[in-house]
Amino acid sequence: MPVRRLLATLVAVVLVVGLPSLAGSAAHATDVVADPAATVTADPAVPATPADPTVQPADPAVAAVPAAPLALGSRTLRFGDVGEDVAALQKLLKVEQTATFDAATRKAVKKVQRAAGTKANGVVTATVLKKMKRELKKQAAAARAAKKVSRGALPRAGAPAASKRYAAAYISRTYSWGSGQMSCLSTLWARESGWRYWVSNPNGIYRGIPQTSSRVWGAMGYSTAQYMNSPAIQIKVGAKYIKNRYGSPCNAWAFWRSHHWY
């Protein structure tokens, strides 16, 4: 019976030693099978990165606010500038409103600058703009007064003042003579005639506001009747005489102070 006992012992050993290995293999096979209920999720041990509180989301209800238009006088304007302030300047000067400081605008600016007695460089600073506005206001008042100066005779009452306003507008528009030249002209013709269109000198040769002769107004195509009954014609004749002979009213006034005639 020893053989049987030996075989039994061997079987017992195999059972004792081998079964755990088999059980382990079975357990390993079970571990590698994918869990059908498993899903890919974030690791709960790793916290999510919080949003930056300083970054605000864009509000679709808030539209972009357009830049405020430049007001005339808020900057210095010169040739080549573009903007709504340029258009406002062009409106003031009564030139085409292109919103671009072009050659026509510069020419108009220089004309008003000369009339205002400031440097005619075509550059419009805030200070120059104020002077230009004053000059344009004077010109507008003179132009309104000029409409009252009829081609026929004016009532003598108030005629000198109306004639002065007309003269200021006329010489500015025609010769670009500003307020300084008008001051000289005002003084000159005040000495000659007191700005009375109906007066003549004692010998009757020199007549009207500028005290010119028929040789002067006749050369411009006016009859004596036309000349003597129209302050506007007298001013045109006298201004052209001064332009041709002296170049400007102030030159004529300087000559008059030395000779008492011009």
pTM, entire model: 0.51
Helix axes 159-175, 179-192, angle to 10 degrees: 140
Residue 48: the pLDDT is 57
pLDDT (average), residues 5-29: 51
169-181 tens-digit pLDDT: 899 989 999 999 9
Q: Which two tokens stand for residue 38?
A: 């498993």
Residue 3: the pLDDT is 57
Please report, for the chain, how many H helices and E strands are present, in that order.
Answer: 10, 0
Residue 9: the pLDDT is 64
C-alpha to C-alpha distance for 137 and 140, rounded to whole angstroms: 5
Paired with 207 in beta bridges are 200, 212
Q: Which two tokens stand for residue 229?
A: 């009954």
Question: What are the chain's domains?
Answer: 71-147 (1.10.101.10), 149-262 (1.10.530)
Query: What's the one-letter identity of residue 32?
Result: V
